[in-house]
A and B are shown apart, each in its own frame.
Chain A
Amino acid sequence: MSRAAPAGTETTTVARRLSDALRRLPEHVVIWVPLLVTAAHIVTFSVWTIWVSFTPSTLMPVSGWVGLRNYNAILSTRNWQTAFDNIFLFGGTFVVLSAAIGLFLAILLDQRIRGENVLRSIFLYPLALSFVVTGTVWSWLLNPGLGVQKFVNVLGWTTFRFDWLLDKDKAIWTIVIAAIWQSAGFAMALFLAGLRSVDGDLLKAAQIDGAGPVRIYRRIIIPSLWPILITVVVIQLQFAITTFDLVRALTGGGPGIATMLPALVVYDFMFQRGHIGRGAAAAVLMLLILLSVLLPYWAWRYVQSRRVANA
């Protein structure tokens, strides 16, 4: 800005503004183009998929309006019905158990034990693995002719049976096992951070009052963890509802369709049966299930933040 322009003249102001804008063009490009592309893809992709779910599209997207026909078709398939039931079985069991195990591990690690860092790394390493790896490894371990059952049989207990993987009533629990192994450590990490941030003065006061460790945990520490518990539950539910890779690698949805999940139904209709209208409808249904968890959670977060702001 060394140029001492005669102030006030219209043309120079415009010219300067223009040159200023031009000079700043690169930064605007770098900032806004990626941001707008990202935001635009989220909006347009969602809207487009929702639109496709109302069209008679099969292999190619076509225009046309079929109302709720795709939705009715999806809802009446056995695959979707099984998948929907499995969300509750798998999601419910997995979320409760992984939160419980995570909390248990966090409390154990909070006892000022030696080797805490090593132990924490052990509980968290599965989170670095892909679900494909986890699913593959557990499909071997739980394969009765190859894994745990065979091992025990070879040891001498020949009648031992552990064949949930091939049992259509129990196969869903193998997914629960693998999913817990993979992500209970995540719950542990969040709970441990929560335990460590409990008000020290409060604990001292309770100790002076003669409260034992069990009482302190039950009355003071665990009640203070419930916001973390809600976060853990919501994130694990979100994972459960969108699970794809893990089931694909572990059971492939089988035996039969016993471990079918919504994400597999979506993939099946979109890319294997070539009925993208129905696939899109299944994807939208999946989104609705997800929103039934997320919307209350966001509302709760909103109320919490308002309360903090007002306090």
Chain B
Amino acid sequence: MREASVTPSRVLVYATVWLIAAVYLIPFVVVLLNSLRSAEEIAQTSMIGWPKQWAWSNYANAWGQFCIAQTCSGIKPYMLNSALVTIPATIISTLLGAVAGFAISLWRFRGDRWIFGIIAIGIFLPQQMRLLPWTVVLRDMGLTNTLTGLVMIHCIQGMSFTTLFCRNYYTAIPQELIKAARIDGAGFFRTFWRIILPLSPPILIVTAIWQFTHIWNEFLYGVTFTTGQQQPVTAALIALTAAVADIPQYGVQNAAVIIAALPTLLVYLFGGRYFVRGLTAGSVK
């Protein structure tokens, strides 16, 4: 390839690519700036503008005071709900997926292709096909409108992804390594603990990031199976934006959007490489 030098075509490439990058950044920058402007200022001009006065109080307001559906406790309780669902569900589904993925990659048994195929289908099966059954299961287990119910749903549903991610990774581990451990008399758990887990950090990080992002961002189950104070933050955001019609509080609402998006954005910033790896792994399946 030629040495990169300043030519008109290269200038054009840079200009185009940064122009598109600007379009990608604008929505985020607009919301970030709005989160620091007062409602009056936004109403007088538009959503797009530089803050005249920095309204830092928007964040405190959005976090602890703003009224969502007649409850004036800000976004805090909903963030807590999301965390209480996302963190346990991510950890449990990732670990169970690692164990199951290893078992599937290790053993051939009768019907293994069937189980594997069904679990793979789980990746494609739309949530709408599971809504009614989950409603019944949650009711019968007494878990309607509980965070425990959501954790259970995300663990069982997430197993499809975590098992396949891990299985694909573990099939690449040399069988000799596992056989050697077997000959040394190591059982399943010992082999898993001593040999597989130390090799696993990359895939566990990819899987955990994938699960965290998906569960945190999930909306349909949250809005269907929980109400009021039990809702995760995505459902609360919809209720919050519906309140625009009553009393416009744009600054506070923008701050709430930033707060709600922050956990997954931080995960993306710090785990970008693994995030992208998950995206491509999730697409190849």
User: Are the C-beta atoms of B241 and A131 separated by less than 8 Å?
Assistant: no
Per-residue CB contact flags for chain A residues 131-172 toward chain B (1 = under 8 Å, else 0) read 111001111110100111011011000000000000000000
A42 and B118 in contact, given A122-B24, A128-B267 (Cβ under 8 angstroms): yes
User: Are the C-beta atoms of B219 and A280 separated by less than 8 Å?
Assistant: no
User: Are the C-beta atoms of B280 and A189 separated by less than 8 Å?
Assistant: yes
The interface residues of chain A lying within 8 Å CB-to-CB of B100 are 31, 34-35
What is the CB-to-nearest-CB distance from A239 to chain B, in angstroms, rounded to a whole number?
11
Residue of B nearest to A125 (CB): B268
User: Are the C-beta atoms of A130 and B126 separated by less than 8 Å?
Assistant: no
What is the CB-to-nearest-CB distance from B138 to chain A, in angstroms, rounded to a whole number?
13
User: Are the C-beta atoms of A263 and B217 separated by less than 8 Å?
Assistant: no
A-B interface contact total, Cβ < 8 Å: 241
User: Are the C-beta atoms of B284 and A231 separated by less than 8 Å?
Assistant: yes
Complex-state Cα separation, A27 to B103, whole angstroms: 10
User: Are the C-beta atoms of B136 and A61 separated by less than 8 Å?
Assistant: yes
Complex-state Cα separation, A270 to B128, whole angstroms: 10
The interface residues of chain B lying within 8 Å CB-to-CB of A61 are 132, 136
The interface residues of chain B lying within 8 Å CB-to-CB of A310 are none
A133 and B257 in contact, given A37-B156, A148-B48, A248-B219 (Cβ under 8 angstroms): yes
User: Would you call B224 an interface residue if the criterion is a C-beta within 8 Å of the partner chain's C-beta atoms?
Assistant: yes
- Near A by CB (< 8 A), chain B positions 231-285 give 234, 237-238, 241, 250, 254, 257, 260-261, 264-265, 267-268, 272, 275-276, 279-280, 283-284
User: Are the C-beta atoms of A111 and B238 separated by less than 8 Å?
Assistant: no
The interface residues of chain B lying within 8 Å CB-to-CB of A133 are 217, 234, 237, 257, 260-261
User: Are the C-beta atoms of A130 and B261 separated by less than 8 Å?
Assistant: yes
Complex-state Cα separation, A189 to B280, whole angstroms: 8
The interface residues of chain B lying within 8 Å CB-to-CB of A128 are 213, 264-265, 267-268, 275
User: Would you call B25 an interface residue if the criterion is a C-beta within 8 Å of the partner chain's C-beta atoms?
Assistant: yes
Query: Which of B10, B124, B127 touches A111 (beta carbons < 8 Å)?
Result: B10
Complex-state Cα separation, A35 to B134, whole angstroms: 18
Query: Which of A105, A147, A154, A245 touches B219 (beta carbons < 8 Å)?
Result: A245
Query: Which of B24, B45, B156, B188 touches A154 (beta carbons < 8 Å)?
Result: B45
Complex-state Cα separation, A126 to B283, whole angstroms: 17
The residue among B17, B189, B241, B268 with the most chain A CB atoms within 10 A of its own CB is: B17
User: Would you call A121 an interface residue if the criterion is a C-beta within 8 Å of the partner chain's C-beta atoms?
Assistant: yes
User: Would you call A235 an interface residue if the criterion is a C-beta within 8 Å of the partner chain's C-beta atoms?
Assistant: yes
User: Are the C-beta atoms of B124 and A245 separated by less than 8 Å?
Assistant: no
User: Would you call A129 an interface residue if the criterion is a C-beta within 8 Å of the partner chain's C-beta atoms?
Assistant: yes
- Near B by CB (< 8 A), chain A positions 24-72 give 24, 26-27, 30-31, 34-39, 41-46, 48-49, 52, 61
Residue of B nearest to A280 (CB): B132
User: Are the C-beta atoms of A30 and B99 separated by less than 8 Å?
Assistant: yes
User: Are the C-beta atoms of A245 and B17 separated by less than 8 Å?
Assistant: no
User: Would you call A82 an interface residue if the criterion is a C-beta within 8 Å of the partner chain's C-beta atoms?
Assistant: no
Complex-state Cα separation, A46 to B265, whole angstroms: 34
User: Would you call A127 an interface residue if the criterion is a C-beta within 8 Å of the partner chain's C-beta atoms?
Assistant: yes
Complex-state Cα separation, A193 to B272, whole angstroms: 15
Complex-state Cα separation, A190 to B276, whole angstroms: 9
Residue of A nearest to B276 (CB): A189
User: Would you call A226 an interface residue if the criterion is a C-beta within 8 Å of the partner chain's C-beta atoms?
Assistant: no
User: Would you call B49 an interface residue if the criterion is a C-beta within 8 Å of the partner chain's C-beta atoms?
Assistant: yes
Complex-state Cα separation, A130 to B79, whole angstroms: 14
Residue of A nearest to B18 (CB): A119
A113 and B13 in contact, given A189-B276, A231-B284, A248-B238 (Cβ under 8 angstroms): yes
A137 and B257 in contact, given A119-B17, A125-B28 (Cβ under 8 angstroms): yes
Partner-A contacts on B (CB < 8 A): 1, 4, 10, 13-14, 16-18, 20-21, 23-25, 27-28, 30-31, 42, 45-49, 96, 99-100, 103-104, 115, 118-119, 121-122, 124-134, 136, 155-157, 159-160, 163, 185, 187-189, 213, 216-220, 224, 234, 237-238, 241, 250, 254, 257, 260-261, 264-265, 267-268, 272, 275-276, 279-280, 283-284
